[in-house]
Structure formats: structure tokens, C-alpha cells
Chain A
């Protein structure tokens, strides 16, 4: 290994450190869970209310569970099941590439009231 190697590796490390810091300071409070297929929003749900959402696409199904301030994919029929393996998150996102589904935690504010 030479000096240039260390410069290259160092550059990648700095870049990812900046990335981690950037996301660490993203606001998390009052968060919502946004579920999209491709880029179409299927629904936005408060992160602090427990519920189960069944998402059906042409590709198959994903069972999204919001529980105690975290969200996870309980079950899915995609081949790799990465989305299920990823486990619980309370920031960032879960992606199911085969079904083109994204479950994203956003800082969209919870409404003060819902007109119905």
C-alpha cells in the first residue's frame, strides 16, 4: 500500500463520516411513516400509533408493522426478504427492491386534529 491508497481510503471514510453526522442531526420528533410503491405514496401514518398495514402490489405483499415508535416489515413474499431481515428502525428507511416499496420515516408533522 502506498500514500495514494491511504488518501483514497481516507477520503471515503471522511465522506461516510459526514453522511452519518448529517443523518444523526436530522430531526426525528413527531415523525410519520410514509409508505410508497415506486414513488406513489400509499399512506402516511403516525409513528407513535401502533398498527399493521398490509401492502399488496403486483409483485406480492409486505406486512408493515408500526409498534412502539418503531417500524418493521413483519412478513413479505419477496425472494430475498431483506426488508424483513432489516428489523426495526426508528429513522431512515426500509426498502423492498423486488416490490419497489419504500417505508420511510419522515419528520412530517403530526396534525393537531383530523377532519372527518
Chain B
């Protein structure tokens, strides 16, 4: 139990650090809403190493703390919508026996989709739909990248467990 709590704490701290790095060093692609989202590596790895409940916890804590530290209510709502939709999607995909890369790719896509839906509701504007194809592709690419990294990390961690 204690080991579990310690793991969750370390994962959460790592997610926060990654978010912080991205906040001060944004990998800007010039398209609003498109970013690498390296904190999601932690969430994806947590999903495999710790389990679904733990991944949800880590993700939500990260979103709230980052929202409080660097954002405002609006950015919190966007992140939250993205995080929740992405988590649900990833859990389903994992259940459907997709690999880490597939799970993470769908997670990236749904992360962007969730934010877009939140923004569309807040702005009461359909204008955002023009971004949808762009955000699909960018979510897919960042998701696959994060999936590859998570795959490597999982392999290392699994090997250590086995030893």
C-alpha cells in the first residue's frame, strides 16, 4: 500500500514537472491548442504500471494543480475536458487490446477533441470546427510520439519488475 502511494506521488510529481517544463518552454506549433503534452507520458505509463484508477487520479490532480498555478478557470475547463475524454478513450482502447502506441494515439486525438468541444460550448460558436481536422492530425502525431516513449519506459520498468 505504502509503495503504491509512493508510486502515485512520484508519478504525479513527474507529471507536474513535465507540465511545468511545457509551460515555460512551450513547443509551439503556431496553431492554437496544439502542443506536445509530454505530461501525458506519465499518465499513459501510469495507466499500464499502476492501473486505470491511479492514472485518472494522477491526471486530474495534475490538471487542477497546473490550472491553479499557471492558468485560469477557462484553461482549467479546457484541460479537464481534454484529460477526461482522453482517459476514457485510452481505457477503452486498452481494454480492446490496442498496444501502448495505439492507446496513446487515441488519447492524443481525444485530448484535442475534448478541448475543442469545451471551447465550442464556451464560445457558443461553430467556427472552431475548422480546427478539427488539424487537431485530429496533431493529436494523432503527438499521441504516437508519446506512445513510443511510453512503450520504451514500460519496457524498462517491466524488465526491472521481472528482475
| Chain A residues with a Cβ under 8 A of chain B | 1-2, 4-6, 8-9, 12-13, 15-17, 19-20, 23, 36, 38-39, 80, 82-83, 85-87, 91-93, 95, 97-98, 100, 102, 104
Contacts and interface: CB of A to CB of B under 8 A. Distances in A.
Given A16-B136, A23-B133, A2 B124 contact: no
Interface residues of B, number: 35
A8 B106 contact: yes
Decide if the interface of chain B is mainly helix, strand, loop or mixed: helix
Interface of B: 28, 30-33, 72, 74, 78, 93, 96-99, 101-102, 105-106, 109, 119, 122-125, 127-128, 130-134, 136-137, 139-140, 144
B140 A4 contact: no
Among B131, B133, B134, chain A packs the most CB atoms within 10 A around the CB of B133
A36 B32 CA distance: 18
A93 B33 CA distance: 14
B133 A5 contact: no
B32 A4 contact: no
A15 B20 CA distance: 33
A92 B109 CA distance: 20
B53 to A, nearest CB: 24
A97 B73 CA distance: 12
Given A85-B30, A98-B74, A4 B123 contact: no
Contacts of B109: 12
